[in-house]
Structure 1
């Protein structure tokens, strides 16, 4: 992993010299104050000096440069949540005491293990600590925070009563006075805790002073999960204990700005990333997986999704939140739901806020149904829990608590909810002891938590299953022609990510009488022609058409995800409809995606010939349409995409007319070594339902490719070209073919 260490030794020397401090080395911050002074011995404003260098600290980051954002005054430093920190050597006298003070805007609490509270390893907002030395202003995965100070007479620990504030600039300070043995903790100039010991010196740590990284890591595979995801400004250390009035005075006349702008991930972080999509929906950084709870409120769409906001790894899930007016351009909003504790050692969703659904119900309120997980053997573990919002922007939620547990099934997760005949209906993906299936519930009165009643089997699951252990992320909706679609994502058992059967969405078309879904055929159909896209969430737009958004998951190693600093992306929105055969789902790209087309350099050409027929080069964000006229009845035809000038990197997607299979050849997609999974994939294609492949519509967005055939069949996948010039595309066929080709560069739609 590349690491960038930026040091400004000269500035620190000048700064410390101006303070009249003695030096033990030429590395700024190694100053031992002689004697105690009212001036800070460490003062980080994160503002550039006249030479453009940063005064004071050293920056550790795996990205090309540190992140800087608007601060309380001037500029602030933005941590990435998992790899970055700011540090400097610092020498303080054990007899003088100290004050440490900083402005912090915290986006999220540090991640934790999916383990009981006493096994968590907190993160550190600010620390110069070891196991039995120094000071540590800590915060854990539930927002509990405080300070630990090691003294000659023992350890002093102060824990604040209220969780550390999120999404706002907060001034945090801690002091220790050897003369009285008193330690104090402050928030926004006001005391929040005090602990007194015997008058004694304290025990400084020999390590560096550091912000945003703990003295004790929390490893999870190749990741460390207890970093801090925040912005910092005006970090100061004094070699004496300030009085309460001095702490208050430091914040009295400061009006911190809105922290939202300070928590936006700067575009510079991923500017050089060849793999990161630019017009697909996704969080600004770090981890996402299943989207869920797509809901239209007025003219605004809201999308909720699984998120780890602190790094590109999965643990202790929260609900992320995106907003859009057109399903194309998205704005990132504060986390909607996060694990919490109701007691010191227990919370009903303490282990994670897993997937679910959001619906608009009685009174116009929004109801979020989610899978809550804890560490109890008996109390709703897992359970389906409810949160309610009366906020038009769905920013504020009140948790109601668990509604049902898994009684009657081996395991369950991921509720899907709808209203029918004055009742609320809910299906939940379930493990039925040998197969996947669904648990089905009805509720006549949402105001009562005890209204939910388990119903007989929703459908003949054991006959429908494809050999899985459990179904996830169910979707059930009217699809037209008096028919309904049931879509699920089976996992476990014979199903695995790269196996046969592979992890992917499957569906059935059938009828619904208000009590039982009867599929027209017990055999599941594949949602996509080839695996790579799964777990869609659906909602109806203002015109009543059904829109689905799924996830296009990673096909590269955890090490590659760590280096990237993000993982997974959402698929493009698709319009769902029932095809004319009355038994097959049709999927089309959302018409609004055409607004991304840029006219400059657009291509419109007639291509004729055999073999590879070059068309053009429009970069890494492109839409290509190719209409084969007529489509071949024998042989193969399709496109080569993401091709380098020398052909060392290229991806082929084509139709095998004789075998009636769609083929994806990724054997030369990348020169890198980070890819996972099969590189040659074949998927059955139903010509009777979709028609012989004539129209190919391909969206390329750096590492994400989405393909629509005949405006009806679809599949999505990942490629990871290493070359910036792997951007050419061509028509390819085994015999003479004609094709009308159009292509456009697509505009970036960055997430704010």
Structure 2
């Protein structure tokens, strides 16, 4: 019954060209962090931060959906909601799901107080269907913020895993006037937690003053810590640290940016194929008023498989995405023109491109509304500077530019550059040009590989599996998206484009 009602709800958005069709999002209203991604009895279950009452943040509950393949999803009833008078009376915040010896268990942050400032850790226990959840009567199971934090409010987003001797948990917080911190805990039963020590302490000037949504896991021979850096006066970003983990002490040897764009608060899990999977919230880049009018907000990324190479995190969209590909367009230099338009236009595309960059040349693709419209998104590689460049040319009132004035100082510590210019067209139309670039040095003889997932207002860009930038574009006149080659056709090794269907029809 719930799935049928959800399907009817989704029908009201069929004419919304900005709403993604092959990415997961709830039937309506607000969604943010993914929570509790878990594989249970052969099915994947995704929980997520959800406001069932409207398209803006509030009344934080856990939405729920299941899938056989991480592509097609079935909407399920809410898992947990705030309990009046309980420790989570103003919100069931982010957390994770674990299999506790055959007993599905949610571990989450409960919020109280007028400003959500009282944050404690709670659990809920489910039945074998994962549809019925009972909050533990002894909640909260952890309430005290470690004294070295120097504050009492930011203490959230538990991530739990099992080692040979016990359960372990990391919780994100901050140390006053120092920066973000991840605290490490140990438990035999998920109910009684012993504080061990900080797993890692950050530097607010380099990587943000508050950390959120930690993930900590072994990948190959190393351990990876992912944190979402929440900066009170700037744009949030997602960082990762690769290092060693001995005697419960983590020593980072590499630090990088997981995504330079709108992906935030990712969550990982390992499945029965031994794949480390990641999914993240794709934030909106338009105003609250526009989100309210749209009736929905928030999208989940296409799940990615994580691997390591030379201590750098590599990300690949799951192969199951290929199973829904539609009409195929294949290009080589023989059927292309220099800077020519391609005979494909669609709202939803999966693009695989490989270029052979040459010195002092640019190569890439441009997403345009129509051949006659100056508005466009250029995705290109500058060989001279060895940078991946995203150039958004739009009208001054375009929602895609709403983040143009944001402070990106954490990203800039990792080579991110941003510039805003004005452009006047031949017909005296004033356009804004937002140029963002990321360092992307290619090894000798290494080709540029681009994977671009275009879906309504979502653009996921992955370069050589190691650079990720997720973009949101809102073109009010976008009936279809047209593609144009940037650069000489001789720089193209292969270019394959698939039109993508809706996963809901």
TM-score, normalised to structure 1, is 0.59
Residue 239 of structure 2 is matched in structure 1 by 506
Residue 374 of structure 1 is matched in structure 2 by 112
What does residue range 308-327 of structure 1 map to in structure 2 within 5 Å? Answer: 308-327=51-70
Distance 1:649 1:572, change over 3 A: same
CA distance in 2, matches of 1:618, 1:534: 29
CA distance in 1, matches of 2:69, 2:490: 41
Residue 560 of structure 1 is matched in structure 2 by 290
Q: 1:618 Cα deviation (Å)?
A: 3.4
Whether 2:114 is the aligned partner of 1:360: answer no
CA distance in 1, matches of 2:117, 2:375: 51
Q: 1:462 Cα deviation (Å)?
A: 3.5
2:364 match: secondary structure: strand
Whether 2:322 is the aligned partner of 1:594: answer yes
Q: 1:438 Cα deviation (Å)?
A: 1.0
CA distance in 2, matches of 1:473, 1:371: 11
1:403 to 111, 133, 141: 141
CA distance in 1, matches of 2:117, 2:490: 63
Distance 1:376 1:603, change over 3 A: closer
What does residue range 44-193 of structure 1 map to in structure 2 within 5 Å? Answer: none
Alignment: residue pair count? 467
Whether 2:166 is the aligned partner of 1:423: answer yes
1:321–1:332: 8 Å Cα contact kept in structure 2?
A: yes
Whether 2:89 is the aligned partner of 1:350: answer yes
Residue 545 of structure 1 is matched in structure 2 by 275
Alpha-carbon displacement from aligned partner over 1:477-524 (angstroms, at most 9, x marks no partner)? 1111x1011010111256x22xxxxx1110111011141111014xx3
Whether 2:358 is the aligned partner of 1:640: answer no
2:491 match: secondary structure: strand
Residue 429 of structure 2 is matched in structure 1 by none
Residue 615 of structure 1 is matched in structure 2 by 342
Q: 1:292 Cα deviation (Å)?
A: 1.8
Q: 1:671 Cα deviation (Å)?
A: 7.1
Q: 1:412 Cα deviation (Å)?
A: 1.0
2:470 match: secondary structure: strand
CA distance in 2, matches of 1:373, 1:707: 35
Whether 2:470 is the aligned partner of 1:716: answer yes
1:466 match: secondary structure: helix
Alpha-carbon displacement from aligned partner over 1:77-98 (angstroms, at most 9, x marks no partner)? xxxxxxxxxxxxxxxxxxxxxx
1:380–1:404: 8 Å Cα contact kept in structure 2?
A: no
Residue 438 of structure 2 is matched in structure 1 by 683
CA distance in 1, matches of 2:209, 2:354: 42
Distance 1:671 1:380, change over 3 A: closer
Residue 385 of structure 1 is matched in structure 2 by 122
Residue 295 of structure 1 is matched in structure 2 by 38
Q: 1:457 Cα deviation (Å)?
A: 2.0
Q: 1:596 Cα deviation (Å)?
A: 1.3
2:369–2:478: 8 Å Cα contact kept in structure 1?
A: no
CA distance in 2, matches of 1:670, 1:571: 28
Alpha-carbon displacement from aligned partner over 1:55-82 (angstroms, at most 9, x marks no partner)? xxxxxxxxxxxxxxxxxxxxxxxxxxxx
Distance 1:670 1:639, change over 3 A: farther
CA distance in 1, matches of 2:243, 2:291: 40
2:462–2:469: 8 Å Cα contact kept in structure 1?
A: yes
Alpha-carbon displacement from aligned partner over 1:256-304 (angstroms, at most 9, x marks no partner)? xx46534544443112111000000111111000112110112100111
Distance 1:288 1:607, change over 3 A: same
CA distance in 2, matches of 1:394, 1:647: 49
Distance 1:380 1:640, change over 3 A: closer
Residue 50 of structure 2 is matched in structure 1 by 307
Whether 2:64 is the aligned partner of 1:338: answer no
CA distance in 2, matches of 1:736, 1:418: 50
TM-score, normalised to structure 2, is 0.87
Alpha-carbon displacement from aligned partner over 1:125-158 (angstroms, at most 9, x marks no partner)? xxxxxxxxxxxxxxxxxxxxxxxxxxxxxxxxxx
2:182 match: secondary structure: strand
Q: 1:381 Cα deviation (Å)?
A: 2.2
2:15 match: secondary structure: coil
Distance 1:638 1:357, change over 3 A: same
2:47 match: secondary structure: strand
CA distance in 2, matches of 1:577, 1:484: 11
1:670–1:722: 8 Å Cα contact kept in structure 2?
A: no
CA distance in 2, matches of 1:611, 1:508: 41
Whether 2:252 is the aligned partner of 1:519: answer yes
CA distance in 2, matches of 1:376, 1:621: 42
2:202 match: secondary structure: helix
Q: Which moved further from structure 2: 740-749 or 728-737?
A: 728-737
1:475 to 215, 219, 223: 215
1:319–1:338: 8 Å Cα contact kept in structure 2?
A: yes
Which has more strand, going by share of residues? 2
Q: Which moved further from structure 2: 555-564 or 608-617?
A: 608-617
Larger radius of gyration: 1
Alpha-carbon displacement from aligned partner over 1:330-375 (angstroms, at most 9, x marks no partner)? 111111010012xxxx22100100001111112x111111110112
Residue 149 of structure 1 is matched in structure 2 by none
Distance 1:467 1:520, change over 3 A: closer
Whether 2:198 is the aligned partner of 1:457: answer yes
Distance 1:675 1:464, change over 3 A: closer
Q: 1:728 Cα deviation (Å)?
A: 1.0
2:170–2:184: 8 Å Cα contact kept in structure 1?
A: yes
CA distance in 2, matches of 1:687, 1:727: 29
CA distance in 1, matches of 2:211, 2:351: 35
Q: 1:648 Cα deviation (Å)?
A: 3.0
1:653–1:663: 8 Å Cα contact kept in structure 2?
A: yes
Runs of at least 5 residues in structure 1 that lack an aligned partner in the other structure: 1-257, 498-502
Q: 1:392 Cα deviation (Å)?
A: 2.1
Higher RCO (CA 8 Å, separation ≥ 6 residues):
2
Distance 1:693 1:713, change over 3 A: farther
| Superposition misfits of 4+ residues, deviation over 6 angstroms | none
Whether 2:171 is the aligned partner of 1:439: answer no
